[in-house]
A and B are shown apart, each in its own frame.
Chain A
Amino acid sequence: MKPTMVFSRTPGLKDVVTSYCPGCGHGVAHRLMAEVLVEMNALGRTIAVAPVGCAVYGYDYWNFDTTEAAHGRTPAVATAIKRVLPDRLVISYQGDGDLASIGMAEIIHAANRGERITVIFINNANYGMTGGQMAPTTLAGQVTTTTPEGRDVSQTGYPMRIAELLATLPGVKFSARGALHKPGLVRKAKSLIQKAFAIQDAGTGFSIVEFVSLCPTNWGVNTLQAVEMVEKDMLKTFPLGIFKDEQVGGKD
């Protein structure tokens, strides 16, 4: 019998080894994003903005045009690229420190202007690249290098729910939260990206997909324990769902 290929590397990603730690969610998110672009035949018209964070080397992995941006300014850079080239697919790929802390003004205002860009937001509950500090998304009680006794919400505030927050803005047409730690959820995650890109191509407004991600290295656990932590702790604070879907054709 002739063997049939059922799974292969997506041409949306370069044939290279990434710098991500075992169990990290970034690679899964990259793959989903790339697969959707390939299915849309959109690699040639995609321009991505990589964040300052673990995904800063996006251009080494993604097989489409990519620029870096200063920490948190990613949506401002993406805004202007889209304004110059409105028929391109523009992606702002950001971590939770990048988006929800230093870049909070840029994300809120790009969303509020209804910029026709898509944000892929990786929420791993800490600052990965700098070695695991508290992020705005860090869970109550979670230990990080800057919350050594666990996050005390009375002093440092509460984990921010970005997908819900942005869904309140009229310029936002799609806002959802998915997860990357189980096969079934990965398939769902992909459909969220598909919807977000479709919104962008429809030209109606801003779209964001937040992913509850994993960071075993900085959480100080092994990969299986990380999956458990997402399941047990993170999903309580960050429920999965679609918080806004104004896609023509309605909700799923």
Chain B
Amino acid sequence: MSETVFMKGNEAMAEAVIRAGCRFYFGYPITPQNEVPAYMARRLPETGGTFIQAESELAAINMVFGAAVAGARAMTSSSSPGISLKQEGISYLAACELPSVIANVMRGGPGLGNISPSQSDYWQSTRGGGHGDYRTIVLAPHTVTEMVELTMDAFDLADLYRNPVLVLSDGLLGQMMEKVIFPDPEARKKDGLLRGRPLPPKDWALTGAQGRAPRFIRSLIMKQGALEEHNFKLAEKYARIEVEEPLAESLACENADIMLIGFGTSARVAKQAQLMLAEHGIKAGLFRPITLWPFPSEQLATLARKVDRFLVIEMNTGQMIEDVKLVIARERSLKEVRVELLPRPGGGVPFPEEIVARAREVLK
């Protein structure tokens, strides 16, 4: 049964982790995600689970690695500077094909930046982030309810593809309180991103070799040509994910005067701007990627055929806009259409009025 409560984003996400059947959480304090480890420290022991406050993000992500090696659902959360430290571990998780969930409650960067909401880790998240040729699935919620749903889905997709999955939110979603609907976990397996697909057995996990040949998990692959083969095998998996998993929300994009494009918090604000533009008699569509990788290219490409003006709203200096332009350029000449940016880096959050004003400018 689903359940409706009033809850803070970070705590709701933490509760979703538990409802997804994850019993192993490893974290390190960093604002604006501190509610996650605090919630886990209280709730996980009640469920027979394990919470460890790790000595660093490096240790935390490698604990996730260890728990995944042993076949358990495991997750860690952090915010931007801490996620940078986790990149080594994420690369190893991808290399070893270990299911794992990492939540990034983004804050302003680069460097220590600030603790305000930001979307400045789009590139890092969607391009791998660590060293080597790999991909992580990236899910970007724009409400607390969606943060709950996508967090639950993240564990399923991680298990389905044996791959790390990132839940990419920001300080605003993490810190805000709003009405949250917790779906029934079983129902979510059908209605959510898993779409009822069966999860493969973890017949690769290390559990002790009793009654079978010893197993090993490794990412050092030195035999001539073997790593190349492994890279191609991973690439095949990523190609399958690119076909199966892209997801976006689109609202009134057909024949719109202008298409507003944003993810997460930016899209949330853009939804308000969309209504305000309608009051001005402007038909604004809204396109919101939910999976940032795989980027919902086909969906955007189809819609882009009949729209001439695009406004990308991002809480950074313009990162996703590169993917947007790549897709639109497939369908249209960038000389005949306009793809413009409304950037708010460094902890800035756009106001709906700002988006309205910029959209009207782009339409001139």
Contacts and interface: CB of A to CB of B under 8 A. Distances in A.
A73 B89 contact: yes
Interface centre among A44, A45, A57, A84 (most CB of B within 10 A): A84
Contacts of B220: 52, 56-57, 68
A188 interface: no
Interface centre among B62, B215, B217 (most CB of A within 10 A): B62
A113 B60 CA distance: 14
A62 B209 CA distance: 11
A80 B214 contact: no
Contacts of B210: 44-45
B66 A85 contact: no
Nearest to A66: B216
B180 to A, nearest CB: 29
A194 interface: no
B97 to A, nearest CB: 12
B302 interface: no
B64 interface: yes
B72 A106 contact: no
Interface in A55-93: 56-57, 59, 62-70, 73, 76-81, 83-85, 88
Contacts of B69: 47, 67, 77, 80-81
B26 interface: yes
B207 interface: yes
A43 interface: yes
Interface centre among B56, B58, B209, B216 (most CB of A within 10 A): B216
Contact of B70 (A45, A69, A73, A80): A80
Interface string B191-221: 0000000000000001111110011111110
Contacts of B219: 68
B55 A81 contact: no
A77 B209 contact: no
Nearest to A73: B62
A80 B217 contact: no
A83 B50 contact: yes
Interface residues of A, number: 35
A66 B314 CA distance: 44
Given A65-B208, A66-B206, A69-B62, A83 B24 contact: yes
Interface string B73-107: 01000000000000011001000100000000000
A251 to B, nearest CB: 31
Contact of A78 (B56, B66, B209): B66
Interface in B107-144: none
A122 B217 CA distance: 22
Nearest to B68: A80
Contacts of B269: none
Contact of B62 (A47, A76, A113): A76
Given A44-B209, A46-B208, A79-B52, A84 B59 contact: no
Interface in A218-247: none
A105 interface: yes
B155 to A, nearest CB: 15
A105 B59 CA distance: 8
B70 A43 contact: no
A63 B52 contact: no
Nearest to A83: B50
B207 A109 contact: no
Interface residues of B, number: 38
Contacts of B218: 59, 67-68
Nearest to B217: A67
A81 B66 contact: yes
A19 to B, nearest CB: 10
Contacts of B70: 47, 80-81, 84-85
B71 interface: yes
A63 B218 CA distance: 15
A159 B74 CA distance: 37
Given A80-B64, A80-B66, A105 B208 contact: no
B310 interface: no
B65 to A, nearest CB: 5
Interface in A33-61: 43-47, 49, 52, 56-57, 59
A64 B66 contact: no
B64 to A, nearest CB: 7
A169 to B, nearest CB: 13
B63 interface: yes
A77 B216 contact: no
B65 A88 contact: no
Contact of B211 (A44, A65, A70): A44
B323 to A, nearest CB: 30
B18 interface: no
B181 interface: no
Contacts of A73: 58-59, 62, 65, 88-89
A64 B209 CA distance: 6
B93 to A, nearest CB: 10
B24 to A, nearest CB: 6
A69 B58 CA distance: 12
17 contacts: A49-B66, A63-B214, A66-B216, A69-B62, A69-B65, A73-B59, A76-B54, A76-B63, A77-B62, A79-B52, A80-B65, A81-B66, A81-B69, A84-B72, A88-B207, A105-B56, A109-B59
Top 3 nearest A-B pairs (CB, nearest first) are A80-B66, A44-B210, A59-B216
Interface of A: 43-47, 49, 52, 56-57, 59, 62-70, 73, 76-81, 83-85, 88, 105-106, 108-109, 113
